[in-house]
Homo-oligomer: A and B are copies of this chain.
Amino acid sequence: MHLKGCLTKLREARPLVHAITNYVTVNDCANITIALGGSPAMIDSKEEVTEFVRLANALYVNIGTLREEQKESIYLAMDKASELEIPIVLDPVGAAALKSRLMMVKDLLSRFKVACLKGNIAEIKCIAERDAKASGVDSLERGEGVELVTAELSNYYKTVVVATGPKDYLSKGEKTYLVNNGSPLLGRITGSGCMLGIITGAFLGSVDNDLKACLAATVTYGVVGELAEKSVRQSSDLGSFRMKIFDHTASLTEEILCDAEDYYEYK
């Protein structure tokens, strides 16, 4: 699967991504979407989401800081987005640590049409009902067997599944991809996963093939991480690294992406 042209399409389309997300990393989510070429809108009032989501090219739902009103808004927005066939990205933050969130995620997946379920490996495993030793919400585990889990989960819920970790796994039924792009520093700033989530929404809102859109997002974000890592003086410069993420997202070209991309189909 070739990714050439996806970034250009996104920048031409300027997809409007409606985000219902946590208040910890919401600023980063907005800024990375603009830097990439999309248009973010963070709206989660229950009186507004149904009206607003109609305008959107994609809906990004992240349950990182879930409150009563936001929970209702998520159901309302996903219901309308499903009806209008607007692609939805679901980010199950904390599903490995909190049973109530895991149950909510499963409920959302069974009720609505989700284009992409993107979580870290522990979260994806939890949703797939395998063992996962979750330590908080950023838990990561070794990647053995993840390709099988993602494929099974993808078949079960008819959605693209993205499991992030030292390597990222993407699966849609028969096809499973492994992405080597990325930087260990991405695991040392907050909002790393959230930013991948919202730009996955931006690609889904502008590229027709859903697996291709998710793969383009994961590879793009991994490459940006690599470029940002290379541009800091030392790997502990986490503040500088975070700033460089936005610089490299905005200055990214198809050529840079093509030179750096490192992924393959899993057989």
Contacts and interface: CB of A to CB of B under 8 A. Distances in A.
A226 interface: no
A135 B39 contact: yes
B48 A100 contact: yes
A242 B28 CA distance: 12
Interface in A10-31: 16, 22-28, 30-31
Contacts of A52: 97-98
A85 interface: no
A100 B51 contact: yes
Contacts of A100: 47-48, 51
A76 interface: no
Nearest to A71: B45
Contact of A237 (B65, B135, B191, B251): B251
Given A27-B28, A238-B247, A239-B243, A190 B69 contact: no
A190 B246 CA distance: 12
Interface residues of A, number: 60
Nearest to A16: B136
B94 A43 contact: yes
A234 B251 contact: yes
Interface string A216-248: 000000000000000000101111101111110
Nearest to A188: B34
A42 interface: yes
Interface string A28-58: 1011001100011111111110011001000
A58 to B, nearest CB: 12
Give the top 8 A-B pairs by smallest Cβ distance, nearest first.
Answer: A239-B246, A236-B251, A30-B190, A239-B243, A236-B250, A237-B247, A23-B23, A239-B247
Interface of A: 16, 22-28, 30-31, 34-35, 39-48, 51-52, 55, 64-69, 94, 97-101, 135-138, 188-191, 234, 236-240, 242-247, 249-251
